Amino acid sequence: ISQVIDGKKLAEDVLSQLKTDIEKYVAQTKLTPKLTAVLVGKNAASESYVKIKMKAAKKVGIATETVRCPESVSEDDLLKIIHELNANPKVNGILVQLPVPNHLPERVVCNAVAPEKDVDGFNITNIGRLCLNLKTMVPCTALAVYHIIRHIGVQTLGKSAVVCGRSKNVGMPIALMLHSQGGAKGGGLDATTTICHRFTPQNELAKLTKSADIIVSAAGVPKLIRGDMIKEGAIVIDVGMTRLLDETTNKASFVGDVDFDEVVKIAGYVTPVPGGVGPVTVAMLLKNTFRAAFIQQNPLYINMI
């Protein structure tokens, strides 16, 4: 039977350390780190994500602001808002909550955020740096997966890992962290990493996961990972979050990609949904925000981004 990773507890530990670090920083610099979210339109899921992030930020001593734009905002007007935030020295971290409406080009929007304020790590410069194994702002979900694996404490060098999902914001950065060089030369995990996606046949996926030491699923497909697809003792990290809306109560709930009840009997470690990767991801966002503030105050550290 698996050890179930308590993501809430892991996140609380990170946040309490962060709170202490921020208190020290504020006492020394008289500056309060600030995170600004840009929210376009009225997507209920996006509203709730931003709320969760901002609430957590306030708790650790990060000042917050949410800039709201109408669904119909033009590309020029949105870029102007982002450029103003880039130029505002009081703002240390900027996140544009995705998805943006279809008429706005997501890549252009992500690239508009100054790399040193890009706490989501979606700017082309930061992604490029991650690909090159250089210090950068790493996307928060990938950092969360990394943190969880490090917390488990098993050796990952030379182990085999499978990532389900190849999105540029989630699956790909996770695969980059898993496969890349670790130790002094980089922040990677040195695992032999296979990326699966929507065109990977299910039997092929099962063959790959069955021999994997680490499985990270970020597909958004409930019950994609079943008990009979797991090697005994494997680490199974469930990034997937499919939002289900109860039509009678109008309440939202989330399910992951992993058939938890089956997998928990076979895996060595498994993360639940909710209460697994999600809270750790929020904690990583705030760590990135503090890091951004620190770097902006210490130009000598500029090579850290």
Which stretches of the chain bind ligand NAD, using CB under 6 A?
A: 141, 164-167, 169-171, 196-198, 200, 205, 218-221, 224, 239-242, 277-278, 281
Q: Report the C-alpha gap between 205 and 271 in whole angstroms.
A: 20
User: Is 53 considered catalytic here?
Assistant: yes
Shorter beta-carbon distance to ligand NAD: residue 81 or 239:
239
Helix segments in the chain, DSSP class H: 7-29, 44-59, 75-87, 106-112, 124-131, 140-152, 171-179, 202-210, 260-263, 277-297
Please give the angle made by the CA atoms of 225, 201 and 139, to the nearest 5 degrees: 60
CA atoms within 13 A on the CB side of 7: 25
The active-site residue, picked from 120, 190, 238, 257, is 120
**Residue found under tokens 């404490």:** 153
Contact yes or no for 121/137 (Cβ under 8 A): yes
| Minimum CB–partner distance for residue 51 and ligand NAD (Å) | 15
| 213 catalytic per annotation | no
Residues sharing a CB contact under 8 Å with residue 75, sequence separation 6 or more, in sequence order: 103, 104, 105, 108, 109
User: How far apart, in whole angstroms, are the C-alpha atoms of residue 212 and residue 235?
Assistant: 9
**Is 259 annotated in the active site?**
no
- Shortest distance in whole angstroms from residue 54 CB to ligand NAD: 15
Residues taking part in catalysis: 53, 97, 120
